[in-house]
């Protein structure tokens, strides 16, 4: 199998390159993201391998089909970048990595929570300048506080386990509650009203887009801490920025952002103009943003590479495609 690998970074080469040789596959690593303008690069390959910021709309899928692509490999859990209806129409299976290292993602969420609560980012900025004044760096003790978890899949469950270790009380919301978890499931409105910390772990779908909007934020406690390591578009960025500036939140920690498409995974420090909403969020010392790096552990990268290449192997062998997005 020849795989056209898009949006390549050094960590992808290091994880996928050696493992592909073990499978006997040939990977062409392209720096470019997969877009309507770059789809032609896939000519002469059997599969594409794309990530969260690649674009796989109808026109790209049809061009890939014409170029001889037989399967679309996603090295991520999310599949909102792909027009699934057109992929099905073209007979191109879409194979994803549903769970690579949920612990890694949850640990990043916990890191953001701890950092924004205890103001580690502000402390770091001060101490690098030999300023050891701690006034203004007061946080809250998490023990005994209530954490509201939205989405109790694999990552949500890992986050729950971490927060239980802090001695937090857990309440949860999920469109499909899992009775085997022994959790106190509540409505979203109740979760907003009771939670001192809210951490969201939902997939991005039409039903969940902007589920955290102006109305949802208004129902939250004043001084709540909000964490998002899931998908940026789950949150209405304008409403979030308005609420941050109005003093609604004690802190906001995000590994994702609605406006990340042209920014994340790249160095944009030389740009003279930036997205206004993202700039508003980054200007607040109550907001801490990491660049979609929750997956970036050795264990997660190895798991992503293995599952992606196993998906390709199953396709070639005509075996059941257990990770196909229907």
Q: What is the DSSP string of 29-92?
A: E-SSPP-TTTGGGGTT-SEEEE-TT--B-HHHHHHHHHHT--EEEESSS--TTB-HHHHHHTT-
Rounded CA separation 314/74 (Å): 14
Work out the average pLDDT over 74-78: 92
Q: Is residue 43 part of a domain?
A: yes
Task: Please provide the DSSP assignment of 175-216 as one string.
Answer: SS--GGG---B--HHHHHHH-SEEEE-----TTTTT-B-HHH
State whether 91 and 181 are in the same domain: no
If asked whether residues 84 and 109 sit together in one domain, one would say: no
Residue-level pLDDT at 78:
85
Residue 191, pLDDT score: 98
In a domain, 322, yes or no: no
For residue 262, what pLDDT band results from cuts at 50, 70 and 90?
A: confident
Q: What is the rounded average pLDDT of the residues 67-94?
A: 96
For residue 326, is it within any domain? no
Q: Do 76 and 175 sit in the same domain of this protein?
A: no
Total number of domains constituting the chain: 2
- Show which residues are catalytic: 231, 260, 292
Same-domain pairing of 116 and 199: yes
For the entire predicted model, the pTM comes to 0.90
- Looking at residue 99, its pLDDT comes to 82
Nearest CA among 37, 44, 36, 51 for reference residue 4: 44
CATH of the domain at 55: 3.40.50.720
Higher pLDDT: 51 or 80? It is: 51
Q: Do residues 88 and 78 share a domain?
A: yes
How buried is residue 41: exposed, middle or buried, by Cβ count under 10 Å (0-12/13-18/19+)? middle
How sure is the predictor about 100, in pLDDT bands with cuts at 50, 70 and 90? Answer: confident
Neighbours of 267 (CB within 10 A): 7
Do residues 85 and 129 share a domain?
Answer: no
> Per-residue pLDDT tens for 185-243?
999 999 999 999 999 999 888 999 999 999 999 999 999 999 999 999 999 999 999 99
Nearest to 229 by CA among 146, 150, 324, 141: 150
What pLDDT is stored for residue 23 in this prediction?
Answer: 96
Instruction: Measure the CA–CA gap between 152 and 202, rounded to whole angstroms.
Output: 8
Is residue 261 domain-shared with residue 164, that is, in the same domain? Answer: yes
Q: Is residue 323 part of a domain?
A: no
DSSP 8-state code for residue 108: H
Query: Cβ distance 281 to 257 under 8 Å?
Result: yes
The tens digit of pLDDT for each residue in 136-174 reads: 999 999 999 999 999 999 999 999 999 999 999 999 999
Q: Does 208 reside within a domain? A: yes
Helix (H) / strand (E) element for 246: namely none
Judge whether 222 lies within some domain.
Answer: yes
Asked whether residue 325 is assigned to any structural domain, the reply reads no
Tell me the sheet residues that pair with 170: 147
Asked if residue 258 and residue 144 are part of one domain, the reply reads yes
Query: Where does the pLDDT of residue 179 fall: very low under 50, low under 70, confident under 90, or very high at 90 and above?
Result: very high
Banded model confidence at residue 77, pLDDT cuts 50, 70, 90: confident
Burial of 296 (0-12, 13-18, 19+ CB in 10 A): middle
The verdict on 77 and 109 lying in the same domain is: no
Whether 112 and 53 share a structural domain: no
Reported as a pLDDT band with limits 50, 70 and 90, residue 259 is confident
Task: Identify whether 324 is part of a domain.
Answer: no
Write out the residue range of the structural domain in which residue 242 sits.
102-289
Averaged pLDDT score across all residues of the chain: 96
Which has the closest alpha carbon to 248: 214, 289, 288? Answer: 214
Specify the pLDDT at position 188: 98
147 and 183 co-located in one domain: yes
Same-domain pairing of 108 and 93: no
Residues 268, 29, 233, 148, CA torsion sign: negative
The CA distances from residue 107 to 112, 129, 261, 293, in Å, are 9, 29, 23, 11
Cβ contact 293:55 at 8 Å: no
Asked if the model's pLDDT at residue 33 lies above 90, the reply is yes
Check residue 261 and give its pLDDT. 84
């Amino acid at each position: 199998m020849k795989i056209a690998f898009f949006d390549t970074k050094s960590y992808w080469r290091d994880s996928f390159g050696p493992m592909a040789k073990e499978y006997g596959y040939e990977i062409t690593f392209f720096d470019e993201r997969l877009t309507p303008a770059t789809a032609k690069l896939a000519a002469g390959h059997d599969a594409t391998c794309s990530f969260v910021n690649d674009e796989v709309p109808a026109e790209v899928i049809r061009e890939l089909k014409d170029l001889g692509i037989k399967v679309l490999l996603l090295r991520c859990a999310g599949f909102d970048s792909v027009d699934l209806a057109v992929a099905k129409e073209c007979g191109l299976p879409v194979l994803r990595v549903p769970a690579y290292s949920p612990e890694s993602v949850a640990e990043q969420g916990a890191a953001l929570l701890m950092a924004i609560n205890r103001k580690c980012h502000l402390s770091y900025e001060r101490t690098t300048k030999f300023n050891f004044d701690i006034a203004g760096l007061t946080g809250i003790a998490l023990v005994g506080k209530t954490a509201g978890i939205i989405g109790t899949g694999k990552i949500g469950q890992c986050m729950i386990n971490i927060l239980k270790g802090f001695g937090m009380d857990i309440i949860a919301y999920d469109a499909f509650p899992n009775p085997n978890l022994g959790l106190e499931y509540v409505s979203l409105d109740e979760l907003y009203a009771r939670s001192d910390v809210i951490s969201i772990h939902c997939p991005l779908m039409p039903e969940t887009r902007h589920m955290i909007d102006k109305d949802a934020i208004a129902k939250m406690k004043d001084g709540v801490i909000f964490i998002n390591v899931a998908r940026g578009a789950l949150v209405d960025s304008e409403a979030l920025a308005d609420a941050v500036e109005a003093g609604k939140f004690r802190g906001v920690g995000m590994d994702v952002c609605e406006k990340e498409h042209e920014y994340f995974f790249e160095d944009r420090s030389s740009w003279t103009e930036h997205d206004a909403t993202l700039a508003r969020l980054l200007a607040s010392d109550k907001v801490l943003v990491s660049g979609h790096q929750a997956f970036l552990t050795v264990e997660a990268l190895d798991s992503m590479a293995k599952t992606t290449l196993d998906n390709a192997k199953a396709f070639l062998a005509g075996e059941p495609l257990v990770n196909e997005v229907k």
